[in-house]
Amino acid sequence: MRAEWLEDLVAHREAALARLGELLSIPSVSTLPEHEGDMQRAAEWLSREMEASGFHPRIEKTARHPVVWGRSPHQPGRPSVLIYAHYDVQPADPLELWTSPPFSPTIRDGQLFARGVSDDKGQLVMHLAALDSFRRLRGDFPANITLVFEGEEEIGSPNLPDFIRRHREELRADAVIISDTTMQAPNHPILVTGLRGMAGFEVIVAGPQRDVHSGLFGGAIANPAQALCQMLAACHDRPGHVAIPGFYDGVEPPPAAELASWQAGAVDPDLILAATGATSLAGEEEYSLAERLWSRPTLEVNGISAGVREGQKTIIPATARAAITCRLVVGQDPERISALVEKFLAERAPAGVSVQVIRHQASPASQVPIDSKAAKLALAALADGFGHPAQTVRGGASIPIVPVFQDVLEAPVLLMGFGLETDNFHSPDEHWRLDHFDGALATMLSFWSSLAAGGLS
Amino acid sequence: MRAEWLEDLVAHREAALARLGELLSIPSVSTLPEHEGDMQRAAEWLSREMEASGFHPRIEKTARHPVVWGRSPHQPGRPSVLIYAHYDVQPADPLELWTSPPFSPTIRDGQLFARGVSDDKGQLVMHLAALDSFRRLRGDFPANITLVFEGEEEIGSPNLPDFIRRHREELRADAVIISDTTMQAPNHPILVTGLRGMAGFEVIVAGPQRDVHSGLFGGAIANPAQALCQMLAACHDRPGHVAIPGFYDGVEPPPAAELASWQAGAVDPDLILAATGATSLAGEEEYSLAERLWSRPTLEVNGISAGVREGQKTIIPATARAAITCRLVVGQDPERISALVEKFLAERAPAGVSVQVIRHQASPASQVPIDSKAAKLALAALADGFGHPAQTVRGGASIPIVPVFQDVLEAPVLLMGFGLETDNFHSPDEHWRLDHFDGALATMLSFWSSLAAGGLS
């Protein structure tokens, strides 16, 4: 890294972390109605900070949570880059498993702990800080920059596609940068080449009108909790393999070269065990670990609830609920999969209960070509920023908006993420390594320097 | 009913209901640790009320909740009767489904609404009121009476058997009255001749150390919620039929005469549908409804919980839990069944999760002979009190202490209950008909009169 960059980063590190701390202190949980006010507060905070960083901010209302976006002063003839990040976070429960409170950012052992620090507020604030740094050093923006900060990523980006289509001309860019993925290992950067899609569901099984006595009525009426267990158990026919007819239709295996690299051990089993604390791996044994995570679809029960919450209670519960998400791969149409899952569950409802399946978010898998000039620039910048060659791999998670950016803006998407799989995304004690914050800043300074030097032309 | 009884009952009705209201206002939930203080308050209240009714009260500590018991002044040569009731209640949740708060007793449409009013506090206070009435009318107790009020019925009476054995001599009685069962229809009294037993379990399935991201790790590690669903689904092989090997070994069919009366329609299907709000009946089709409820064992999932409680959260949950109870019938040993269930579940844990099965309450089914003098007295009193012939039928619920009273005290147990299956035992809006309160008082006055007139000799 150049000495002048390092000097600027060190001089402004405290201020950048304080700025991040402010955003992390706002519990902007998009999935829970009680945080509506926090979402609005976060949006207003972002608007102020965008302005402080030289952007013309706008808060654009949607049916649910606002998009905060802004453009730097655009100059004709300069390349244009769109930076996307999201300011909403997952719920923080179970709270009792956090070492420090989820919305009181705390530094321990060189890592910053808070809900959303890695997914995705830290990476969002990092981009503002990197551009501030570039402007301090060079007196101007490196390109025509558009920032798009979403508040609905964790609920599947229901309103962002419309936003992008509506503002297609203003959002036009030569590259879209998304920093919401992970690296392979500490300080080992990667450029992600593909992500899984998603189809989410809520299943509600209803039986008696109220919870009723399991002795007085047990044996004579159906039990919704048992019915739900049977329906969910039927979704798999062997470990990791989904039994829903048609689920795998059209699933495309990865290209031979990519597959060969995966089978050579692209995913470290010890890292998966360390990151999850699971005692052993599971899933489809006939596939490599990389395939199970990147090119094989899944159906996961995210939660289930019925009847007695604590203590003993001898009842037949009135209702049973489950939250389910499928991760989808290339070749699977989210609408088709949603219909298959819905039909499969509805058909398996035993007599005496009624079943309702509510469809939630659905988005296809995405593939990101890495032969663009922008991708080459990104790979070089990642290597420069972390002092380690950047690899190209896929990811197992979902960023629903990636294919929309590709289709509507026709721009290459750069999945330059700076988290780690061990950062506890969506889990208690979510954290982010401060050396990744530094490395990400250095990466972006390198990227913007190359870009300003004509790297896209 | 005799005019003098009616006059006394009417004159003291308000006071008796006020007394019941005091007990109902104490949230004596035995299963939840946070109600420990309420359990103690309820015990002290009972002790004071026993004393007010002429008994020598004692509060006897156990490992969990105290037994409150007392004897009337015992006179040699008089028959002895033990009255058992319980002062603990089921948890009141879900609170939002109560029309009036569960611990604020409220009268609507001739019924008293409160948690525990029917199960079993109303019946407990009724016995005090009936004995008060008898003493006012006759100047003395009708017999040597011992009251035993338990605080652990809803958790399976773990400490009462020891109490009974320890005080065997003081508790000796010619009959044991338990008023904790239901009648066949409004003002149609019954004497219960048998109850199902119970074996309870908690199952905990553990996978990753925390809830982890279902995209980053889904496909590579086991999901405890899915594992639990599979394990619970395996417990049944067709509606109402338990698939656990050996579960039905030794199950005795009811005697031919009893069975014939059941098959003639001892249980009204419309009453079951009305009481539960279920849209259809379910269970073992090859058995009559009465058999399914009274002489066939069950395995019911009382509750299940894992992962996301509300909203969406794309995780693989760290743990999944279920509460299960089996209702047992004559011929099934609770310990043996507990071991079978435990083994079955443990063996079905898929790779990548660990399973813990905690055994809770276990008690055998009970049969109560109805050829004793005491039973004949009870049948006559029930008919007298309600002006309607009393029938003899079994029940599907469990009162764990019945077989212990029979074995240790060698006394006939009279299951004289005054609730209704539509009273929402264990459910929101539990209630009790005030005309059943009156009928029960009249029944007991009739019973005590016959007894005092030498009905047991």
- Of the three residues A340, A363, A386, the one that is the final residue of a domain is A363
Tokens of B408: 């240790």
Do B350 and B427 belong together in one domain? no
CB A226 within 8 A of CB B229: no
pTM (predicted TM-score)? 0.86
Best of B314, B319, B353 to substitute, by most chain A Cβ atoms within 10 angstroms, is B314
Tokens of B58: 């004692």
- CA-CA distance, A39 to A37, in Å (whole number)? 5
Interface of B with A in 96-135 (CB under 8 A): 97
ipTM: 0.86
A51 confidence band (pLDDT: 50, 70, 90)? very high
- Of the three residues A333, A363, A393, the one that is the final residue of a domain is A363
Torsion of CA B146, B148, B149, B153, to 10 degrees: -150
- E strand or H helix at A6, and its extent? helix A3-24
pLDDT per position as a tens digit, A125-182 = 999 999 999 999 999 999 999 999 999 998 888 899 999 999 999 999 999 999 999 9
Q: With respect to residue B259, please indicate whether it lies within any of the assigned structural domains.
A: no
Torsion of CA B288, B294, B296, B300, to 10 degrees: 110
| Spacing of C-alpha B148 from chain mean position | 15
Q: With respect to residue A49, please indicate whether it lies within any of the assigned structural domains.
A: yes
- CA-CA distance, B245 to B230, in Å (whole number)? 17
Do A326 and A448 belong together in one domain? no
Q: What is the β-pairing status of strands B298-307 and A319-328?
A: unpaired
Do B352 and B420 belong together in one domain? no
Q: How many CA atoms lie within 13 A of A162 on its CB side?
A: 11
Phi, psi of B379 (to 5 degrees): -60, -40
CB B101 within 8 A of CB B113: no
Do A15 and A135 belong together in one domain? yes
- For tokens 């896929």, the residue is A394
Q: Is the pLDDT of residue A265 over 90?
A: no
Strand-pair partners of A208: none
Q: How close are the terminal C-alpha atoms of chain B, in Å?
A: 24
A1 confidence band (pLDDT: 50, 70, 90)? low
Measured between beta carbons, the chain A residues lying within 8 angstroms of B420 are none
CATH classification of the domain holding A244: 3.30.70.360
- Using CB atoms, pick whichever of B210, B219, B282 lies closest to residue A396: B219
Scanning A185-332, the segments in alpha helix (DSSP H) are: 214-217, 224-233, 256-263, 269-276, 289-294
Do B183 and B208 belong together in one domain? no
**3-class DSSP state of A215:** helix
Do A189 and A213 belong together in one domain? no
pLDDT in tens, chain B (457 residues): 578 888 999 999 999 999 999 999 999 999 999 999 999 999 999 999 999 999 999 999 999 999 999 999 999 999 999 999 999 999 998 899 999 999 999 999 999 999 999 999 999 999 999 999 999 999 999 999 999 999 999 888 889 999 999 999 999 999 999 999 999 889 999 999 999 999 999 999 999 999 999 999 999 999 999 999 999 999 999 999 999 999 999 998 888 888 887 877 788 899 899 999 999 999 999 999 999 999 999 999 999 999 986 667 889 999 999 999 999 999 999 999 999 999 999 999 999 999 999 998 788 999 988 889 999 999 999 999 999 999 888 999 988 899 999 999 999 999 999 999 889 988 999 999 999 999 999 999 999 999 999 888 7
| Spacing of C-alpha B15 from chain mean position | 27
Q: With respect to residue A286, please indicate whether it lies within any of the assigned structural domains.
A: no
Give the distance from residue B26's alpha carbon to the nearest chain A alpha carbon, in angstroms: 19
Q: With respect to residue A296, please indicate whether it lies within any of the assigned structural domains.
A: yes
Residue B355 domain boundaries:
197-250+293-363
- Of the three residues B323, B343, B363, the one that is the final residue of a domain is B363
Cβ contacts of B102 within 8 Å, gap of 6 or more: B27, B92, B95, B114, B115, B428, B430
Other CB atoms within 10 Å distance of the CB of residue A244:
18
Interface of B with A in 330-369 (CB under 8 A): 350-352, 354, 360-361
Interface of B with A in 186-215 (CB under 8 A): 196, 198, 200, 202, 207-215
**3-class DSSP state of A275:** helix
Q: Considering chain A, what is the average pLDDT of its residues? A: 94
Do B217 and B155 belong together in one domain? no
Amino acid A205: pLDDT: 98
- CA-CA distance, B135 to B154, in Å (whole number)? 32
Q: With respect to residue B274, please indicate whether it lies within any of the assigned structural domains.
A: no
Q: With respect to residue B287, please indicate whether it lies within any of the assigned structural domains.
A: no
CATH classification of the domain holding B371: 3.40.630.10
Q: With respect to residue B327, please indicate whether it lies within any of the assigned structural domains.
A: yes
Do B92 and B211 belong together in one domain? no
Amino acid B311: pLDDT: 66
Do B25 and B75 belong together in one domain? yes
Do B314 and B386 belong together in one domain? no
CB B365 within 8 A of CB A215: no
Do B178 and B327 belong together in one domain? no
Strand-pair partners of B322: B203, B304
Q: Is residue A94 reached through a cis peptide bond, with omega within 30 degrees of 0 on the bond before it? A: yes
Q: With respect to residue B275, please indicate whether it lies within any of the assigned structural domains.
A: no
Phi, psi of B268 (to 5 degrees): -85, 115
User: C-alpha distances in angstroms, A80 versus A72, A160, B312?
Assistant: 10, 20, 35
pLDDT per position as a tens digit, B255-312 = 888 888 787 778 889 989 999 999 999 999 999 999 999 999 999 999 999 998 666 7
pLDDT per position as a tens digit, A60-84 = 999 999 999 999 999 999 999 999 9
Give the total number of structural domains in chain A: 2
Interface of B with A in 291-330 (CB under 8 A): 292-293, 296, 298, 300-317, 320, 322-323, 325, 327
- Using CB atoms, pick whichever of B31, B219, B396 lies closest to residue A296: B219
Do B423 and B342 belong together in one domain? no
